[in-house]
Amino acid sequence: MTALPLIRSDAAAPCEAWGPTLTGRFLPELFAAYERECVRYAVLRNAERWPGDFGKDIDLVVHPRDLRRHDAIVRRMCEAWGLVPVIRASRGGHWMYYLMRIGDGEAIEAVYLDVRVRLSHMELEYLPVEVVLEDQRHERGVRTPSLAAEALALALHCLFDKGAVRADYRARLAELLAVAGDAFRRLAERELGPGFGELLAGVVDDPDRLPVVRRRAAGAILVRRPGTLIRHLRARTGVLLDRARARLRPPGRLVILLGPDGAGKTTLSTRVCERFAGTRLKVSSVYLGAQKPLLPTRRWSQKIRKRLRPAGTAKVVKDVNRKQRLRGLVHIMADKWLRYVVQVRPRLVRGETVVLDRYFYDLRTFAHPLVRRSWVESAIMRCIPEPALAFSIVGDPGMITARKHELTVAETTRQLACYRGVSRWVRNFHEVPADGVLPTVVDAIATRVAALQSGDAVRTPEG
């Protein structure tokens, strides 16, 4: 196959913005930058729907040698546009770019780029990338494969990646074959072998033949490119190792909110999760305070205390001079560990970001002399999993106390100082105001939560 020429910077003028959405404004600038910097690329599918419908993501193919330039362009544009980039590489040869705009207390806007350097399923290369890059159409400043190449790439995508032919894909394939059916058959036979043009075209009309055609196509691919089998097996093995590694070192991120009763932890944790509800980032909240125990003995002790409390008795306001038993602390911490193992860690294993309302660091506020000893504190704090991000909610003790009336002002002041001391043990520690403008505070927390996942490096396949 002939070598691909670099795209000339004067090949096309930048296209105008496509509507008011972030995606409609971002894409024309991105494609114009590709042209200026000679990035060889193609929009793999669905470009015919633009700008009316951009779909869930933008499927791009970028030449392997241009991946670093593409990555530099995207990161540079994110910095200029004020976007938070979350970049993840998959074992299947995809680079997912999730570019978010967070701010003004509004719903998060995002651009989702699904970038490939190989047309493959789990590194089983079913079509050389040069096929969709060497013969292109160029309309409205966007490069797309020729009709025949688009049809072949889409058919093989259904065959290997999806395992089915969706209704919209079937309609598009029928449209492409009606216009470029002969060219499609010639291309399929050139890349896979005699007879595959008719076989792949037949799948559009008879999806039940897909498993048989897939097996035959896989065999033809391995005959023509035997090295792809090794890469495929390596990718499959890597997936299994990743799952095992995730159980030992969960890939998820832990975010904690600290503060006395009335500081606003529950409100903030709920609002932060709501901000990410419509995005592709999995963010969930868990309450880890003492009021919702999971340990049976903790539940029983709470029920017994409620029954023994005289009817109409007001709840005791906690003060600095109250005394707490050490066995109570042990009981509470045992329950926290159980809930962490049962409710939090599985989410971290799945790669979620978990926002915790309270954490093990609550033990610093426990009113017992032993807890205040430095060697005890040091031993306990080193046993606690360090969160990726910690927020201590601070403010006027009187204002915080007035919200719930569960603590005295003096006790609130003491607890604020205890939580501030967590900064010695957590590297990514921040303070947020308890009386700040709620949307602004939520934006600040959400931006830092998204930034936790924005540092992934992009490597070229050769590197």
Nearest by Cα to 265 from 397, 173, 174, 356: 356
pLDDT at 208: 86
pLDDT at 314: 67
Q: What percent of the chain has pLDDT over 90?
A: 71
pLDDT at 251: 92
Rounded-to-integer distance, Cα 88 and Cα 282, Å: 14
Nearest by Cα to 417 from 386, 387, 392: 392
Kindly give the pairing relationship between strand 253-258 and strand 124-127.
Answer: unpaired
Nearby residues of 201 by Cβ (< 8 Å), 6 or more positions away: 177, 181, 184, 185
Q: What percent of the chain has pLDDT over 70?
A: 94
Summarize the confidence of residues 329-335 as an average pLDDT.
87
Q: What is the 3-state secondary structure (H, E, C) of the chain?
A: CCCCCCCCCCCCCCCCCCCCCHHHHHHHHHHHHHHHCCCCEEECCCHHHCCCCCCCCEEEEECHHHHHHHHHHHHHHHHHHCCEEEEEECCCCEEEEEEEECCCCCCCEEEEEEEECCEEECCEEEECCHHHHHCEEEECCEEEECHHHHHHHHHHHHHHHHCCCCHHHHHHHHHHHHHHHHHHHHHHHHHCCCCHHHHHHHHHHCHHHHHHHHHHHHHHHHHHCCHHHHHHHHHHHHHHHHHHHHHHCCCCEEEEEECCCCCCHHHHHHHHHHHCCCCCCCEEEEECCCCCCCCHHHHHHHHHHHHHCCCCCCCCCECCCCCCCHHHHHHHHHHHHHHHHHHHHHHHHCCCEEEEECCHHHHHHCCCHHHHCHHHHHHHHHHCCCCCEEEEEECCHHHHHHHHCCECHHHHHHHHHHHHHHHHCCCCEEEEECCCCHHHHHHHHHHHHHHCCCCCCCCCCCC
pLDDT at 324: 74
pLDDT at 220: 95
Summarize the confidence of residues 86-90 as an average pLDDT.
89
Provide the pLDDT confidence category of residue 345 given band limits of 50, 70 and 90: very high
User: Mind listing the pLDDT tens digit for each residue in 260-281?
Assistant: 999 999 999 999 999 999 898 9
In the CATH hierarchy, which top-level class contains the domain 252-451? alpha beta
From residue 110, give the alpha-carbon distance in Å to each of 30, 50, 56, 102, 437: 14, 17, 10, 9, 24
Rounded-to-integer distance, Cα 453 and Cα 463, Å: 22
CATH 3.40.50.300 in the chain, residue ranges: 252-451
Q: Is residue 140 pLDDT above 70, yes or no?
A: yes
Q: Is residue 8 pLDDT above 50, yes or no?
A: no
Q: Is residue 453 pLDDT above 90, yes or no?
A: no
Rounded-to-integer distance, Cα 325 and Cα 327, Å: 5
Nearest by Cα to 269 from 254, 279, 280: 254
Summarize the confidence of residues 104-108 as an average pLDDT.
81
From residue 13, give the alpha-carbon distance in Å to each of 22, 29, 65, 133, 330: 21, 11, 24, 19, 69
Summarize the confidence of residues 343-364 as an average pLDDT.
94
Say which range, 75-79, 89-93, 345-349, 449-453, has the weakest mean pLDDT: 89-93
Summarize the confidence of residues 81-101 as an average pLDDT.
90
pLDDT at 456: 46
User: Mind listing the pLDDT tens digit for each residue in 212-261?
Assistant: 999 999 999 999 999 999 999 999 999 999 999 999 999 999 999 999 99
pLDDT at 92: 78
